Amino acid sequence: MTEGTSRIEAFSDGVFAIAITLLILEIRLPHAGEAGSLSRQLVTLWPSYFAFALSFFVILVTWIAHHELMRLVHATNRPIQLANGCCLAYVIFIPFPTAVLAANLGGPEMKTAVTFYCATFVFGSAAFNVLVETIARSGCGRSDIDQAIAYIRRGFRITFGVYVAATLIALVAPWVALAINVAVRVHLLRIRYQPTTVSRAA
Amino acid sequence: MTEGTSRIEAFSDGVFAIAITLLILEIRLPHAGEAGSLSRQLVTLWPSYFAFALSFFVILVTWIAHHELMRLVHATNRPIQLANGCCLAYVIFIPFPTAVLAANLGGPEMKTAVTFYCATFVFGSAAFNVLVETIARSGCGRSDIDQAIAYIRRGFRITFGVYVAATLIALVAPWVALAINVAVRVHLLRIRYQPTTVSRAA
Amino acid sequence: MTEGTSRIEAFSDGVFAIAITLLILEIRLPHAGEAGSLSRQLVTLWPSYFAFALSFFVILVTWIAHHELMRLVHATNRPIQLANGCCLAYVIFIPFPTAVLAANLGGPEMKTAVTFYCATFVFGSAAFNVLVETIARSGCGRSDIDQAIAYIRRGFRITFGVYVAATLIALVAPWVALAINVAVRVHLLRIRYQPTTVSRAA
Amino acid sequence: MTEGTSRIEAFSDGVFAIAITLLILEIRLPHAGEAGSLSRQLVTLWPSYFAFALSFFVILVTWIAHHELMRLVHATNRPIQLANGCCLAYVIFIPFPTAVLAANLGGPEMKTAVTFYCATFVFGSAAFNVLVETIARSGCGRSDIDQAIAYIRRGFRITFGVYVAATLIALVAPWVALAINVAVRVHLLRIRYQPTTVSRAA
């Protein structure tokens, strides 16, 4: 029993849009009465701006990848809905490690914070690997895109390994780990998820 | 006077997406200066992670069930809009008992917290029973699915009874009550809401 | 220059869905360490539950009314977008007077809180009156519904007067003012916005 | 490789709707026990109401402009998605400078707060200029609207200059800077983004 993808796309788009917008709630002025002029306080918030920009970029790229994946299926079923739910749980969770990162960037606990932040992406990558596997096995994929699915499966497995490596690196070199995470997303933006001959009116 | 279901679906999807995303706002780091290293603090938050995962699963399954229900109607009217509103009020309320649960899991007041959490599902189940009854009596159901509606009505009445039982059990054995709630949702995922011959382009 | 109504409906639905869901953020447990058992604390929150239910009902009815209004237009233009924006500003504002109401229900400042709460609906009703006038004068209304528009204009002017009266009554009898507000919404649910012969696939 | 615009519009509409609704979270009652009657406290919050109204108006006008821009393209590609992402990052960021403004309106640090608030719009205008350039160069624009695109490009460059000027003016005359920002938005509402002969069913 299958059905179209419009409601799962609408629900997912809603979750992505809300999670990415909630990131701003983590940026807050210190309480009145604390030391320093306003301009100094605004400058002191740089870890919050940095974490906001980083997680914004991550969620945006994840949304694009999710978008591309959903274009490869013509229908959903219960396993796809559940696997998609795991991906959304990961997206919804992102604001919390972002807040942990912002609170500890440049501080004595930075290694722990970045490791936690990077570990979130290991979980997220696992969820997306499950989603791609589920799509590949569901019979909901479009017939002309077997090659694309195979390509994405291989790519997602490799990025999973990179996220694991970045998490381990974060234990000793947190800035390097963050740089690796950015690089992976830039790469995800550059790959093509589909052969150019595939087109679908969205 | 009836109308199509697209706007009520869009509004409901929005509410589900927001309620499920707001769950993350309940997970917060203790204020700076409190005891313990960051890694210890992150571990100490396990009740929050547990409550987040549990309520995420509950809302996801509820969304799927709502989704299936809406596929059975071809139009809405005022009574359906109101009954649907009661279901949405329940969904919106979930983050609050989730926060109560997270704050008391494993603590001295756990029985009260779990009872409150389970009682929320009794209310929610009542709302969904009202919605199914309203659909069944509205004449908005699709003609080929009388059997499916009858099946769902019976099923929803049974789950209502299970939720009441779980709430009473929570007074003495809270972990058992939580396990029953998970089991009900797993069951809701496995049942088929429609005969396989019914298909509708979504 | 006009355009279809799909994006303005999507944007409005999003705002309604978010505003109604944010109501739950106003319900919070007292900080740990404050007096009383958990069950007593949960009971003490009754003003929050009451304000939540009341404002939920208000926003739901407003969404239905907005929904009906939008069904009467086949296109939007800049003035309709701006008038609609005023209506949305009112909807977005509702969580704040709701929090004020919850914090003061049954307290010494209840009259002030209820007056503020009721005054919000005067502003909201003014916005909806402007929206209906703008639609009536825009030429975007559907040709077969002149009668419906005229009927709604008259009805909205009367409810505006009732909201003003309720706000004045709140200064001396706050519970009566709240009851009037509920009664107006029940009435708004019962009226028919369109002649029965009008039907539109949504 | 291009695709239709429906999902990017849905995602953007969601972000706009959430960002505009989150503005209300910045309006909060002082904690109980602080000086003054409730009515006095409500009046003392005027900077919050003012900042809410101002940022609401800014986001509404930005939504309308974004809406008009998207009507000029018949498809999106990766560069448009990224440029659009920068615009959304700006929209999501707005609640933070709004909170800074509300906390300092009429206070000793007002010049700093207004400068920060105005500088946000310089960033936002840069993002929208990038989006228009990307659209113009993408080949995704509709063939009959080259003239409209050229007109918008010129207009957006001019408004960028005005935002820079307003930010500098804020350093010495903050109220004037705010008035300039309002005037720019009123102007953006009055211009026509398309020749009247262009019509598209939305």
Query: How many C-beta atoms surround the C-beta of residue B66 within 10 A?
Result: 22
What is the model's pLDDT at position D98? 94
Q: Which positions in chain A have a beta carbon within 8 angstroms of at least one beta carbon in chain B?
A: 1-7, 10-11, 14-15, 17-19, 22, 25, 78, 81-82, 85, 88-89, 92-93, 95-96, 99-100, 103-104, 109, 112-113, 116
Sign of CA dihedral B97, B100, B106, B108: negative
Count contacts between B and C (CB, < 8 Å).
Answer: 81
- Decide if B15 and C14 are in contact by the 8 Å CB cutoff: no
Q: Which residue has the higher pLDDT, B142 or D105?
A: D105
- Predicted model pTM: 0.89
With 70 as the cut, is the pLDDT of residue C165 above it?
A: yes
The amino acid at residue C52 is: F
Q: What percent of chain B has a predicted confidence (pLDDT) above 70?
A: 87
- DSSP secondary structure of C84-100: HHHHHHHHHHTHHHHHH
In this prediction, residue C34 has a pLDDT band, given cuts at 50, 70 and 90, of: low
Q: Quick one: which of C185, C14, C68, C60 has its CA closest to B83?
A: C60
Cα(B166)–Cα(B162) distance, rounded to whole angstroms? 6
What is the model's pLDDT at position A126? 95
- DSSP secondary structure of chain A: --B-SHHHHHHHHHHHHHHHHHGGGG--PPPTTSSS-HHHHHHHTHHHHHHHHHHHHHHHHHHHHHHHHHHTBS-B-HHHHHHHHHHHHHHHHTHHHHHHHHHHTTSTTHHHHHHHHHHHHHHHHHHHHHHHHHHHHHT-B-GGGHHHHHHHHHHHHHHHHHHHHHHHHHTT-HHHHHHHHHHHHHHHHHS-SS-TT-----
pLDDT per residue over A17-39, tens digit each?
999 999 998 888 776 556 678 88
Q: What percent of chain D has a predicted confidence (pLDDT) above 70?
A: 87
Find the mean pLDDT for residues A136-144.
70
State the best of C5, C6, C8, C20 to mutate against chain B, taking most chain B CBs within 10 Å.
Answer: C20
Query: Which residues have C-beta within 8 Å of that of residue B35, sequence separation ≥ 6?
Result: none
What is the model's pLDDT at position A201? 39
With 50 as the cut, is the pLDDT of residue B30 above it?
A: yes
* Burial class of residue B202 (count of CB atoms within 10 Å of its CB; 0-12, 13-18, 19+): middle
Cα(A183)–Cα(C44) distance, rounded to whole angstroms? 52
Nearest by CB to B10, from A10, A78, A96: name it. A10
In this prediction, residue B144 has a pLDDT band, given cuts at 50, 70 and 90, of: low
Least confidently predicted of B76-85, B176-185, D116-125: B76-85
pLDDT mean across residues, chain A: 85
- Decide if C29 and B99 are in contact by the 8 Å CB cutoff: yes
Query: Which residues have C-beta within 8 Å of that of residue C65, sequence separation ≥ 6?
Result: C128, C188, C193
Nearest by CB to C3, from D37, D53, D202: name it. D202
> What is the predicted ipTM?
0.86
Give whichever of B67-81, C95-109, C186-200 has the largest mean pLDDT: C95-109
pLDDT per residue over B53-101, tens digit each?
999 999 999 998 898 888 888 788 888 889 999 999 999 999 999 999 9
- Tokens representing D71 are 């009507």
